[in-house]
Structure 1
Amino acid sequence: MRITSLLLSAIILFSCSTTNAAEEPLPPIVEQPEGTYKNPVIAYSLPDPTIIKAQDGYFYLYATEDIRNTPIHRSKNLVDWEEIGTAFTAETRPTFEPKGGLWAPDINYINGKYVLYYSMSVWGGEWTCGIGVAVADQPEGPFTDQGKLFRSNEIDVQNSIDQYYIEEDGKKYLFWGSFRGLYAIELSDDGLSIREGAAKLQVAGTAYEGVYIHRHGDFYYMFASIGSCCEGAKSTYTTVVGRSDNLFGPYLDKAGRSMMENHHEILIGKNERFVGTGHNSEIVTDDEGNDWIFYHAVDLYNPTGRVLLMDHVRWEQDWPVVKGSTPSLRAKAPIFKL
């Protein structure tokens, strides 16, 4: 079992290289006072995070399998995390793409079960990848695979990965897509299959992947990622957002231009320490009503893998804002009455 803490992160980061790809000096590491945290909150690779607050009061976080079989981490305060296992084992691992990786999980609580949607793909296999679903009684598993919902060549959407589940007016929907358009489709009542006769609907253009829909006030907000995720220090991933008064759009930027034409607002971009800032989690709220978002990035101190970052989301004039539109290096921590 692996425990992460502020001290451990400091030791790991201090021992890593202190120059970036261009040999520019990076900012020094400073110890954090009590009640604060610093990024990365987990300093090893946990791409494409998804998070849920479970019935036991813990937050559970799942990620793309740089740790084989979909790693699971647990926390009470969003800052200190422990690795508690994996969603699957070698024996229970999904098999509909035999040589595929398990990417971009999406965790939900549906009808008294923990339901984990996942993507399965071989890198570059844009017509053979697809989306599946697994269920468990507890957030730590064991998860039982229910098989695929669809493959790209079955639903006629190239690169069918990066799914997100949402409920609206008693109906269940799945959003998904990766640089070939973002789409939505209705699911069955149990969320484990496509509703019979349902038709897919395109909701955004070809600049995006990693879709997440969040309702705040009178609007729906579509979060997504643009750019390259996985080129180390050269990664250009950036988290963007648009909003709509309807779940299915049109999603617009502040100037009223549509995400169907690849227009958006930048939420989180690079800075002198982190690049490739993308594929955000669900927004979670602390006990003081503050909103927080997780995402991955490449740490230029050690540009191997995609580490886990967290930032405070503020709402200004009905738009989400992260201070400076870049990752914080150190900031006030979430507040929980433990």
Structure 2
Amino acid sequence: MKKYNFILFFILFLASLVSVGCNNTDKKDEPVVDSKYHNPVIALSLPDPTIIKAQDGFFYLYATEDTRNVPIYKSEDLIDWIFVKTAFTEDTRPSFESNGGIWAPDINYINGKYCLYYSMSVWGGEWTCGIGVAVSDKPEGPFVDKGKLFRSNEIDVQNSIDQFYIEDQEKKYLIWGSFRGIYGIELSDDGLSIKSGAEKKQIAGTAFEGTYIHKRGEYYYLFASIGSCCEGINSTYQLVVGRSKSLFGPYFDKSGKDMMENGYTVVIAPNSRFVGNGHCSEIVQDKSGKDWLFYHGVDVQNPKGRVLLLDEIKWSGDNWPYVSGGSPSLSASKPVF
């Protein structure tokens, strides 16, 4: 009997070794999934990003035309992006500003169409630059230009660029401006022109450009950029914010200073790796409820252009936005999709 028990024990012992060996082999064959992402998300110059989750379920990202004719990228998870095409061609690109560049696109879905608002300017052309809009049935285009909404000298706002579209209480508005005051005005029902009889209203001072308004709870959060965007590693851009209980303000910083008086609270400052960080996209929420924000910055390790950066926007107990560490992350946990 003792001999039988010993033989049975030995057989079971051998079986357990085989089982462990098989399990270990399976684990070695499984791919290692990296739960982190690394900045820059795209190491190419993609300034002034704008993003939308399209009707097909994919995210589409557009940027100032450092890639000529406005680059379009596509992603499922905000991390892995593929280049799709450009929004325009040489034949279809807007042309109301002679020799002008297409800057700071802003993508929206309005009345069943993808509407791409854009700025068109040359450096120093602060009275001839302006804002236009193009439309498409698909997020990847082709986009058909509908022409300018206005030029600086027509609406009497110097440096009329860096537009942002927002809907509020069933009305459509355009917010814009660059270091000459931030303004807003109501648009027509189709979003393709200024509403007849609408008058512009200033909502922030002369320290800001590249604005974006995010509605959360009882507050409107006015994100903006201050400083210089385009001087390589000497760029001083920073992303800042103020908030209001009304779309047209008044907006105040965390200390209570009015943004009309150039008050602001810094959200993203420089660090030893990334400088000149600003001009953010729209906030995107992942499946776990976390908020994410794209913006551009200059990588001091490879300071060619303004690369695409991503960080989670967190919210303090008193409902102010911030990023961990107050500056761009080098790596962080991926969004959940």
Taking structure 2 as the reference length, what is the TM-score of the superposition?
0.90
Query: Residues 237-259 of structure 1, C-alpha deviation per residue, up to 9 Å, x if partnerless?
Result: 00000000001000001121100
Q: CA deviation at 1:185?
A: 0.2
Which residue is 1:315 aligned to?
Answer: 315
- The residue number in structure 2 matching 1:248 is 248
Q: CA deviation at 1:33?
A: 6.6
Determine the structure 1 residue equivalent to 2:171. Answer: 171
Amino acid at match of 1:102: I
Q: What is the DSSP-based 3-state SS (H/G/I as helix, E as strand, rest coil) of the residue aligned with 1:246?
A: coil
* Equivalent residues in 2 for 1:154-169, closer than 5 Å: 154-169=154-169
1:42 aligns with 2:42: yes
Measured in 2, the distance between the counterparts of 1:181 and 1:324 equals 30
- 1:138 aligned partner: 138
User: For 2:143 and 2:226, how far apart are their aligned partners in 1?
Assistant: 31
The aligned residue for residue 206 of structure 1 is 206
Which deviations, in whole Å up to 9, do the C-alpha atoms of 1:83-121 show, x marking residues without a partner?
A: 100000001000101200000000000000000000000
Deviation per residue, 1:143-162 (Å, 9 max, x gap): 00000000000000000000
Is residue 332 from structure 1 mapped to residue 333 from structure 2 by the alignment? yes
Alignment of 1:163-312 (within 5 A): 163-312=163-312
What is the aligned partner in structure 1 of residue 12 from structure 2?
A: none
- Partners of 2:74 and 2:59 in 1: how far apart? 6
SS of the residue 2:108 aligns to = strand
SS in structure 1 at match of 2:260: helix
Separation in 1 of the partners of 2:138 and 2:35?
Answer: 30
One-letter amino acid of the counterpart of residue 297, structure 2:
A
Q: Residue 72 of structure 1 corresponds to which residue in structure 2?
A: 72
The two structures, once aligned, show a CA RMSD in angstroms of: 0.8
Query: What CA distance in whole angstroms lies between the structure 1 residues aligned with 2:272 and 2:326?
Result: 13
Q: Which residue of 2 aligns with 1:15?
A: none
Q: Distance in 2 between matches of 1:254 and 1:95?
A: 42
Q: One-letter code of the match for 1:196?
A: S
Per-residue deviation at 1:34?
1.0
Q: Which has the higher helix share?
A: 2
**How many Å separate the matches in 2 of 1:288 and 1:201?**
38
The more displaced of 157-166 and 252-261 is 252-261
Counterpart amino acid of residue 219 in structure 1: Y
Residue 125 (structure 2) aligns with: 125
SS of equivalent to 2:233: helix
Aligned to 1:109, the other structure's residue is in SS state: strand
Find the residue that maps to 2:239 and give its secondary structure.
strand
Which ranges in structure 2 are unaligned for 5 or more consecutive residues?
1-31
Letter in 2 for 1:260: M
Aligned partners of 2:327, 2:75: CA distance in 1, in Å? 24
Partner Cα separation in structure 2 for residue 44 and residue 114 of structure 1: 25
CA-to-partner distance for each residue in 1:273-301, whole Å, 9 max, x for gaps? 00000000000000100000000000001
Q: Deviations over 1:15-57 (max 9, x none)?
A: xxxxxxxxxxxxxxxxx97111010000010000000000001
State the distance in 2 between where 1:254 and 1:169 align: 26
SS in 2 for 1:207: coil
Q: Between Structure 1 and Structure 2, how many residues are aligned? A: 305
1:20-39 correspondence to structure 2 within 5 Å: 34-39=34-39
SS at match of 2:188: coil
Q: Secondary structure at the match of 1:67?
A: coil
Rounded Cα–Cα distance in structure 1 between residues aligned with 2:267 and 2:255: 15
CA–CA distance in structure 2, aligned partners of residues 306 and 177 of structure 1: 21
Letter in 1 for 2:115: V
Structure 1 unaligned spans of 5+: 1-31
SS of structure 1 residue aligned to 2:146: strand
User: Following the alignment from structure 1 to structure 2, what is the Cα–Cα distance between the partners of residues 100 and 274?
Assistant: 29
Distance 1:285 1:332 in 2: 14
- Where does residue 4 of structure 1 map in the other structure? none
